[in-house]
Structure 1
Amino acid sequence: MSSSSAAVCQSVSLPASEQILQDVFGYQTFRTGQQEVIEAVAEGRDCLVIMPTGGGKSLCYQIPALMCDGLTLVVSPLISLMKDQVDQLKANGVAAACLNSTQSREAMQETYRAMQDGEVKLAYVSPERVMTREFMERLRDMPLSLVAVDEAHCISQWGHDFRPEYAALGTLKQHFDQLPIIALTATADETTRQDILSRLSLTDPHIYLGSFDRPNIRYTLQEKYKPMSQLSSYLRGVRGQCGIVYCNSRKRVEQITEKLCESGIRAAAYHAGLEFDERARVQEDFQRDDIHIVVATVAFGMGINKPNVRFVVHYDIPRNIESYYQETGRAGRDGLPAEAVMFYDPSDLAWLRRCLDEKEDGAQKQIESHKLNAMGAFAEAQTCRRQVLLNYFGEYREEPCGNCDICLDPPKRFAAVEVAQKALSCVYRVNQSFGVNHVVDVLRGMQNQRIRELGHDKLSTHGIGREHSHEFWVSILRQLIHRGYLVQNIVRSSTLQLTEKARGVLRGEVELELAVPRLDIAARSAKNDKLASRHYDKKLFAKLRKLRKAIADEEDLPPYVVFNDATLMEMAEMLPTSAGELLAVNGVGHRKLEKYGDAFLTLIEEHLTLGIE
C-alpha cells in the first residue's frame, strides 16, 4: 500500500503557524526549535525531535496537523497520556480523539467513522493497536497526512524503556512509503538516536537535537542517613506545593505513604500492584490538585502531564540516568522554579547491582549495567551535576550551572594535570579496552590474576597511583568522563576511551582543576526560593487558583487544562482588565478567552477595586 493518496499540507507560511500558535494555543512566540521542526514537518519531511520534558514537543506535530488537510495519527504509550492530550486539545477547540481499551465498541466505531470522514484532526492510538491487521486495513480509507511517534526512545533496545511493540512501528514505512513520520522523545543518547532512525526507516530526516538542559530545576543530593526523617522535614518545608516521591519498590511506597499520613502529611500511594481503579483515582486526584503528594514507583510515569509539579524526590537511586532525567523532568513543566532531590546511600546502588547480577547474561544486561554505572557516577559526582547530566546526553558545558548542590556548596579543587595524566596514560596503555575498575587496579599496582595474565603488571603505568585509594581514582576517572576527556563506550562493555580533548592534557598544554574527591558525601540541601522573587500579586494568584479549581471541578477537568500556574502567575503580574490584554497572556487563546475570559477578568477587576478601596 502506498501513501500516494495521503493528504498533503497546505501551502505553508510562517505566519500561518504563528497564527495557530497564538489563536489556538494562546502562546505569543515559539520556543527554541519548534518553528524549524514545524516547517520541516509541514514540508513533508521525516523528523527526529529530541526536546526536554516541558520543552513543547507536542506542538511540533499538533500545529502541522492543523496546517495540513487530513488526519494526524499519534502513537502514544499510555491511556492516561492520550486522554490528557485529547482533553487539552479539545479545551483549545481542536477536534481530537483517542482509541483505547477502556472505550465501548460503539464509541470506537464512532471514532473510526469520524476519522474516516475527516472530522478528527488528531487521533491518539497505542502502538499495539496500530500494528494490528484490522487497524492497518482501516487506515487504507483514511485521509492520513502525518504519523507522530511519541516517547520514541521505547523503540530502541539501547533506550531505558524498550518496548518490542514499539520496535514494530518501522513497518509503517512499508505500508505508507511517502507518509512523513515525526519521532519525538526527551531521553535519547547518541546510540539510541541512531537506533530510532534505523528502526523507523526514516528517509533523509530533519534531526532536531535540542538542549537537554532544564535550567529551572535545581538538582540536589543528600546523604541518606535518616531518610524518613529527612523526607518528612523536606515535605513540611514545601507544604502546599505539588510533588512526587519515587521509590524502587512497592513495599517501600506503601510504608512511606503510611508514615507520612501518620505524621499529618497527606499523601497517596501509586504502584502497579494496586487495582486499576485505585491507580486511576490517585492520578486523577493528583491532576486535579485534590492530592498534593504522590509516593510512587516508576509505574507513575509518562502519563503525568501536570505542569505545576514543584518537586520530585528520589527516595532511592534510579536504575539509569534516562529514568532520572525523565522523572525529575516532571517537575517545573510550566518553566517556573522546581527542585529535584535525591537521597543517596551507596548501599542502594550495591543492591541494584546485585539484582542486575541475577539476570541472565546478554546484551540487555550489559546495557543495563552500563546505565546503572553512569547513574552511580552522577550520584557520586564532584563536578556540577547539570554538567554530568548534560554530558551523558552528549551536550558538553564548560561553565557550571550555579543551581545544583555541588555549585551551591562547592567541593575544594586542586591542580590536577599530573593526576589526570596518570589516569589518561593508563587508559591509553591498556589499549583503551578496559573499564574503570581495571584501570584503577592497574594505577594502584594490584597483582591480581587478571592483571598478570594480561601482562598489565609490566606496563609503565602499573602502580603509578598507589598512594591513592580505589575510591579516589574512581572519582578522578568519573570527573574526566564528566569533563569530556574520556568516554565510556556502551557498545564495548563500557570501556574507557580517550577523546581528542585529552591530547592537550597528556601533552601538558592545558591547565586542569578537578574536585578533591569527597569520599564521604556531606549532607547538602538547598532550598528553592526563586518563586518568592517573582513580582506578582500573590493574593490575586491565590484567588485565580481558587476560581480555576471551581471551573475545573464543574467541567470535570484537571485545573491545568483550564490554565496552568504560569498563566495565572502572568495574569497576577500583568493584571489584564480587557479581552485584548488577557489575550496577551501566554496560555490564553481565543477559545479559552471565549470560555473563561469573563470570569477571570471579573475576578481581577474585583480584586483591583478592593485594592483601591
Structure 2
Amino acid sequence: MISTTMTPKDALRTYFGFDSFKGEQEDVINSLLEGKHTFVIMPTGGGKSMCYQLPALMTEGTAIVVSPLIALMKNQVDAIRQVSENDSIAHFLNSSLNKTEANRVKSDVIEGKTKLLYVAPESLTKQENIDFLSSIKISFFAIDEAHCISEWGHDFRPEYRRLRPMIEKIDNVPIIALTATATEKVQLDIQKNLGMLDAEVYKASFNRKNLFYEIRPKKDVQRQIIKFIKERTGKSGIIYCLSRKKVEELAQVLSVNGIKALPYHAGLDATTRAKHQDMFLMEDVDVIVATIAFGMGIDKPDVRFVIHHDIPKSLESYYQETGRAGRDGGEGHCIAFYSYKDIEKLEKFLHGKPVAEQEIGFQLLQEVVSYAETSMNRRKFLLHYFGEEFDEVNGEGADMCDNSRYPKEKVEGKEDVILLLKTIKALQGKHKMKYFINLLTGKKSNDIVTYKHDQSEFFGAGKGKEESYWSGAIRQCIVEGFIGKEIESYGTLYLTVKGEQFLQSPHSFMVIKQNDFSDVDGADGTVTPKQGGQSADATLFSILKDLRKKIAKEKSVPPFVVFQDPSLEDMTVQYPITLEELQNIAGVGAGKAKRYGQPFVDVIAKYVEENDIDRPQDFVVKSVVNKSGSKVNIIMNIDKKLPLDVIAKSQQKEFEDFLTELEGIVASGTKLNIDYYINDVLDEDAIEEVFEYFMEDAESDSIAEAYDEFDGDYSEEELRLVRLKFMSEVAN
C-alpha cells in the first residue's frame, strides 16, 4: 500500500479541478495506490497520463516515468506544471540537458520537490543514474508507451527490454505499464518482460466512435490532400509520411498552395522541432507534416483530420496515429492513401534483419494490407484485431467508414466458405493465407509442389473465383471467428470451433466484393499520366489535338514535340486559362508554356466560357521550385562536359533514374547539350538515323515503338539519349 492522505476524487478536484474520472481511471489509480502492479490498455485520448500523474501527486516520494521520446517528455512536463505553482513538481532527465541543468533536476528530486521525473529508457542504463535513483524515495515506476517493450509491438525499442533488471536494481516498487495499442500477444509479452504477470489489467474499449476511417487509392495524392484541406480551412490536421524527404517536400507544396503547414521529423534540430510543435499547439499553423516521431503525447484535442500519405508499418501504428484526431469527441477524419507498392517498399526495408524480426514485420504488414483492401466495416475489422467484438449494424459509429457509408456489392458465399473451411481443416492449419489462395485458384507455387498439394482434391477447386475474392472471404471468416490466425507461427490459419460448427450446420454467408487498388500511382504518390486519350473532357481533348496538329505543321515538327498526350489530358482536367496556370500541367515548364502555350490557353478560355464550365481551381497544385540544387548541379556539370554516368554517380542515382531526371529537365523547357556524351556512345550515322525517326516517322515519343521500329538494333538507353537530344533541340 502506498501512503496517501486524500481520496482520488478529492485529489482530482484539488489538482485538476475535475469532479469525475473518465472510464476506469479511478479503478486504475486505486490499484496503484494499493501497491499492485497495474497494466492499462487505453486508447489515445482516453486519459492514460492521469492514471499515473494523480497517484504521483498524492503520494510520498518521486514517480519515475519511463517515456520513449524527448518531445513527449517536454510536452507532459509542461502540462503537469500547470497544476502547480512550482515548476519543480515535474522534470525530465535525458540527453538534452547539460550538466548544470541535470544537477539542478537532481537537487530538486533530493529535496523532495519533484513528484514526477520523466526519463528515457536509455538513461536507466547509465550507472550514475542508477546510483542516483537508488538513493531517493521512489513511489512507483510508470512505463509509458509500454508496447515499445514487445517485439510484436509497432514501435519496438530494444532498450525497453532491459527495464525490469534496471528497475530491480533501483527499487522494487509497484509498476504501472500503459499503452494505447496492444493485441493480446503484445499484452502478454509486456507483462512477461516486466515480471508483472500478476498485474491488475484494465482494458478500455478501442472504439473511437467519432472517427471516420477511409482508405483511398494512392493516385495524385498531393492534389487530393490540398483539395481536402482547403475544404476544411482553419481546421487542424496531421499528415504522416514515412520519409523525412517526403515530409519536407509535402510541407513545401502545401505552403506554396496557401496552406499554413510546417514539417516535423527527427532530422530537424531540437529547437526547430520544439518551435514547430508549439506553433501547431498555439494554432499559428494548421497542419503539421511529420514522420511518426510527431504526435506521441501531443495533447491537442481539436485535431480534425489525420492523413497517412504513406501506409504505416502496422495496424497498431495506424490506430495510434489516427487516434490523435478528435480527442475532444468532435469530428475526426482519418484518410490513408494505399498502394501495394508501398507495402513492397516496406518489405524491402525488412531484408537483412534477423529472420524472426523479418517474419514479424511481414505479418504485421499483411494485417495492414488486409485492412486497406477489405470491403467490410473497417471499425469491425480494426476492433477485431485488438480482440474486441463490434456490431456493425447497431454499434456506436457503425456507419463511420467508407465501406459502410458506400457499401460494396455482396454475393452469397455459403458454398465457397464451406470449401474454404474444409480446405483449411484438411491441411491442419500449417499454412498462411496466400498458400490457401494459391491452392484454391490452382496456382502451382513452389511450396504447393513441395507439399504435393497440387495433387490434392482442393487444388483448383475454387478457380472460378478471383484471388481477391478468396482473400476477402478469408478475411471475413477470420473476423467472423470461423478461422483463427496462429501468431506464434507467423500467421498460419486454422479452423476454430465456430468454423467447425458452421461446417456441421451451414447457413447463408454474404461475401463482400473487394476494393480494387490495382490502378494506382507509384509508391511516392506522384502522378502517373494517363495513356491513350483517357481525358476528363473528350470534346476539349479532340479540339486540343487538332490545335496541336495545326501548330506542329506550322513549326514543321512532330505533334508530340509541341505537347505530349498526357499534357493535353491534364489540360482537360485543370482547364488552364493563363500561361502561369499552364505551367501546373504535367510535362509543361516555363519555356514550353512560353513557346507553344498561348494558343492553347486562348482556346481553353473560350471553351470554358462557351460551355459555362466550373473550373476545379482547388485541384490546381502549384509545384515547388527544386531548391535542392540538384537540377542546377546537373546543368552545370553538363556544361563542363562531365560524362553523364559520372554525374549520375555523384548524385547517387542509378543511370536509368538519372536519365528520367534529365528527361524531366528537358520537358520543363531547358535545353541540354549532351552531344559530347552521345558522340562517345553512338556513331554519327546511328545518331542521325534515330534523330530522323523521331522527326519524320514517329507518331509518338514512345521508346517501345522506337525499339520495335529498329528491331532492337539500339538499346533503350541509346534511344533515350537520342530522344533527349531531339527533344532538347526541337521542342525547346
Q: TM-score range by the shorter chain?
A: 0.7 to 0.9
Aligned residue in 1 for 2:25: 34
TM-superposed deviation, 1:272: 2.5
Pick from 44, 65, 68 the counterpart of residue 53 of structure 1: 44
1:417–1:508: 8 Å Cα contact kept in structure 2? no
Pick from 345, 351, 360 the counterpart of residue 345 of structure 2: 351
> Counterpart amino acid of 1:22?
R
2:259–2:286: 8 Å Cα contact kept in structure 1? no
Provide the C-alpha distance between the structure 2 equivalents of 1:222 and 1:271, rounded to a whole number of angstroms.
Answer: 25
Aligned residue in 2 for 1:69: 60
Aligned residue in 2 for 1:396: 389
Aligned residue in 2 for 1:572: none
Aligned residue in 2 for 1:437: 434
1:45–1:180: 8 Å Cα contact kept in structure 2? yes
Provide the C-alpha distance between the structure 1 equivalents of 2:4 and 2:291, rounded to a whole number of angstroms.
Answer: 45
Provide the C-alpha distance between the structure 2 equivalents of 1:250 and 1:204, rounded to a whole number of angstroms.
Answer: 42
Pick from 246, 254, 257 the counterpart of residue 263 of structure 1: 257
Aligned residue in 1 for 2:285: 291
Provide the C-alpha distance between the structure 2 equivalents of 1:224 and 1:259, rounded to a whole number of angstroms.
Answer: 17
Aligned residue in 1 for 2:543: none
Pick from 350, 359, 364 the counterpart of residue 366 of structure 1: 359
Matches within 5 A, 1:433-582: 433-519=430-516
Q: Which has the larger radius of gyration?
A: 2
TM-superposed deviation, 1:134: 1.3
> Counterpart amino acid of 1:144?
I
Of stretches 160-169 and 202-211 in structure 1, the one that deviates more from structure 2 is 202-211
SS at match of 1:145: strand
Of stretches 263-272 and 504-513 in structure 1, the one that deviates more from structure 2 is 504-513
Aligned residue in 1 for 2:599: none
SS at match of 1:157: coil
Pick from 56, 73, 90 the counterpart of residue 96 of structure 1: 90
1:189–1:392: 8 Å Cα contact kept in structure 2? yes
Alignment partner of 1:387 is 2:384: no
Provide the C-alpha distance between the structure 2 equivalents of 1:279 and 1:63, rounded to a whole number of angstroms.
Answer: 29
Aligned residue in 2 for 1:421: 418
2:373–2:514: 8 Å Cα contact kept in structure 1? no
Matches within 5 A, 1:1-12: 8-10=2-4
Aligned residue in 1 for 2:640: none
Normalised TM-score (structure 1) = 0.80
Normalised TM-score (structure 2) = 0.67
Provide the C-alpha distance between the structure 2 equivalents of 1:100 and 1:177, rounded to a whole number of angstroms.
Answer: 20
Of stretches 92-101 and 308-317 in structure 1, the one that deviates more from structure 2 is 92-101
TM-superposed deviation, 1:47: 0.9
Provide the C-alpha distance between the structure 1 equivalents of 2:329 and 2:19, rounded to a whole number of angstroms.
Answer: 15
> Counterpart amino acid of 2:387?
G
TM-superposed deviation, 1:161: 1.1
Aligned residue in 2 for 1:530: none
SS at match of 1:113: helix
Provide the C-alpha distance between the structure 2 equivalents of 1:226 and 1:92, rounded to a whole number of angstroms.
Answer: 47
Provide the C-alpha distance between the structure 1 equivalents of 2:168 and 2:269, rounded to a whole number of angstroms.
Answer: 39
Provide the C-alpha distance between the structure 1 equivalents of 2:233 and 2:113, rounded to a whole number of angstroms.
Answer: 45
Provide the C-alpha distance between the structure 2 equivalents of 1:27 and 1:213, rounded to a whole number of angstroms.
Answer: 24
Aligned residue in 2 for 1:23: 14
1:251/1:138 CA distance change after superposition, 3 Å: closer
Provide the C-alpha distance between the structure 1 equivalents of 2:499 and 2:391, rounded to a whole number of angstroms.
Answer: 15
2:63–2:141: 8 Å Cα contact kept in structure 1? yes
Aligned residue in 1 for 2:328: 334
> Counterpart amino acid of 2:510?
E
TM-superposed deviation, 1:504: 2.5
2:472–2:511: 8 Å Cα contact kept in structure 1? no
Q: Any gaps of 5 or more consecutive residues in structure 1?
A: 1-6, 524-613
2:134–2:170: 8 Å Cα contact kept in structure 1? no
TM-superposed deviation, 1:386: 0.9
TM-superposed deviation, 1:354: 3.7
Aligned residue in 2 for 1:315: 309
1:482/1:170 CA distance change after superposition, 3 Å: same
TM-superposed deviation, 1:11: 6.1
Provide the C-alpha distance between the structure 2 equivalents of 1:165 and 1:47, rounded to a whole number of angstroms.
Answer: 21
1:111/1:278 CA distance change after superposition, 3 Å: closer
TM-superposed deviation, 1:114: 2.0
TM-superposed deviation, 1:177: 6.3
TM-superposed deviation, 1:361: 4.9
2:37–2:199: 8 Å Cα contact kept in structure 1? yes
2:411–2:511: 8 Å Cα contact kept in structure 1? yes
2:130–2:166: 8 Å Cα contact kept in structure 1? no
1:522/1:449 CA distance change after superposition, 3 Å: closer
1:481/1:522 CA distance change after superposition, 3 Å: farther
> Counterpart amino acid of 2:270?
F
2:28–2:51: 8 Å Cα contact kept in structure 1? yes
Provide the C-alpha distance between the structure 2 equivalents of 1:339 and 1:28, rounded to a whole number of angstroms.
Answer: 30
> Counterpart amino acid of 1:271?
H
Q: How many residues align?
A: 513
TM-superposed deviation, 1:464: 1.8
Provide the C-alpha distance between the structure 1 equivalents of 2:19 and 2:333, rounded to a whole number of angstroms.
Answer: 27
Aligned residue in 2 for 1:118: 112
Provide the C-alpha distance between the structure 2 equivalents of 1:67 and 1:280, rounded to a whole number of angstroms.
Answer: 30
Pick from 185, 192, 199 the counterpart of residue 191 of structure 1: 185
Provide the C-alpha distance between the structure 1 equivalents of 2:414 and 2:16, rounded to a whole number of angstroms.
Answer: 53
Provide the C-alpha distance between the structure 2 equivalents of 1:228 and 1:515, rounded to a whole number of angstroms.
Answer: 30
Pick from 173, 192, 207 the counterpart of residue 201 of structure 2: 207
2:65–2:143: 8 Å Cα contact kept in structure 1? yes
Provide the C-alpha distance between the structure 2 equivalents of 1:211 and 1:521, rounded to a whole number of angstroms.
Answer: 34
SS at match of 1:195: helix
1:380/1:502 CA distance change after superposition, 3 Å: same
Alignment partner of 1:304 is 2:298: yes
TM-superposed deviation, 1:419: 1.6
2:374–2:515: 8 Å Cα contact kept in structure 1? no
Provide the C-alpha distance between the structure 1 equivalents of 2:19 and 2:405, rounded to a whole number of angstroms.
Answer: 34
Provide the C-alpha distance between the structure 1 equivalents of 2:9 and 2:206, rounded to a whole number of angstroms.
Answer: 25
Q: Which has the higher contact order (CA 8 A, sep 6+)?
A: 1
Provide the C-alpha distance between the structure 2 equivalents of 1:454 and 1:286, rounded to a whole number of angstroms.
Answer: 57
Aligned residue in 2 for 1:78: 69
1:216–1:335: 8 Å Cα contact kept in structure 2? yes
> Counterpart amino acid of 1:436?
M
> Counterpart amino acid of 1:126?
A
2:305–2:333: 8 Å Cα contact kept in structure 1? yes
Provide the C-alpha distance between the structure 2 equivalents of 1:201 and 1:152, rounded to a whole number of angstroms.
Answer: 13
TM-superposed deviation, 1:303: 4.5
1:335/1:22 CA distance change after superposition, 3 Å: farther
Provide the C-alpha distance between the structure 2 equivalents of 1:440 and 1:190, rounded to a whole number of angstroms.
Answer: 27
